Chains A and B, each alone.
Chain A
Amino acid sequence: FLLTQPHSVSESPGKTVTISCTRSSGSIASNYVQWYQQRPGSAPTAVIYQDYQRPSGVPDRFSGSIDSSSNSASLTISGLKTEDEADYYCQSYDATSWVFGGGTKLTVL
């Protein structure tokens, strides 16, 4: 299966942005979805796991959700800060493989 994300999104500081991740086949709700943040020149770090859980240290401005009607997952970042500017990747899996979305470049301007 494939995970499709918008190539880029932009929003102003203090606002809220949502990044979508649509699964091509199979139910989005069947397997957990994770989200990773990657700043330029750095390795990715998880901001959401198990659909909506936040790893320790990730602020509650980051939230995840699943929408079975659109077969998609979403990452929502509220109270945007300039430090949130990064690439964001969704990720899921099946029994024998792990899949990343193509990534979304978030610009905070």
Chain B
Amino acid sequence: QVQLVESGGGVVLPGRSLRLSCAASGFRFSTYGMHWVRQAPGKGLEWLSMIFYDGSKKYYVNSVKGRFTISRDNSKNTVYLQMNSLRAEDTAIYYCARDVGAGWDKSGTFGSWFDPWGQGTLVTVSS
């Protein structure tokens, strides 16, 4: 079945780095875009980043632009999130999710949604 499994979370000091991984199985990974989304404790969902199926395009939310880098290795069916200069406010559960196409919308954008999601990995930034 389609499955995403995140790993790499843990406790890290402010200012340090961490790399998260998301291993995919059960589908043709190299044909799908992938997202990272996070959820701070007791808070809502925040989209972070998206990478095209072939890695040719990457998008980021402003709050992590310049600090976080998304990448993928299609030979390993894995997407990564390199997080640098971590801050206390980066403490959250980090989810990866597959980008599923929803067709062309009225604005001329090819829409998409998130399915499935991984179980998440907890990142705690604390001294």
Contact = CB atoms under 8 A, between A and B. Distances in A.
Contacts of A49: 100, 102, 113, 115
Interface of B: 35, 37, 44-47, 50, 59, 61, 95, 100, 102-103, 105-107, 109, 111-120
A25 to B, nearest CB: 13
Contacts of B105: 30-32
Interface of A: 27, 29-32, 34, 36, 38, 43-46, 49-50, 53, 55, 87, 89, 91, 93-103
A102 B44 contact: yes
B110 to A, nearest CB: 9
Given A32-B105, A43-B119, A44-B117, A89 B45 contact: yes
A89 B116 contact: no
A31 B111 CA distance: 7
A27 B35 CA distance: 24
With a 10 A CB-CB cut-off, give which of B46, B50, B113, B115 has the most chain A CB atoms. B113
B92 to A, nearest CB: 13
Nearest to B119: A43
Given A97-B61, A100-B45, A100-B46, A91 B113 contact: yes
A103 B45 contact: yes
Contact of A96 (B46, B59, B100): B59
Given A94-B107, A97-B61, A98-B50, 12 more contacts: A32-B105, A43-B119, A44-B95, A44-B114, A44-B117, A45-B116, A45-B117, A53-B102, A91-B47, A99-B47, A100-B37, A103-B45
Give the 10 A-B residue pairs with the shortest CB-CB distance, closest first: A32-B111, A30-B107, A43-B117, A103-B44, A98-B47, A49-B113, A100-B45, A34-B113, A50-B102, A102-B44
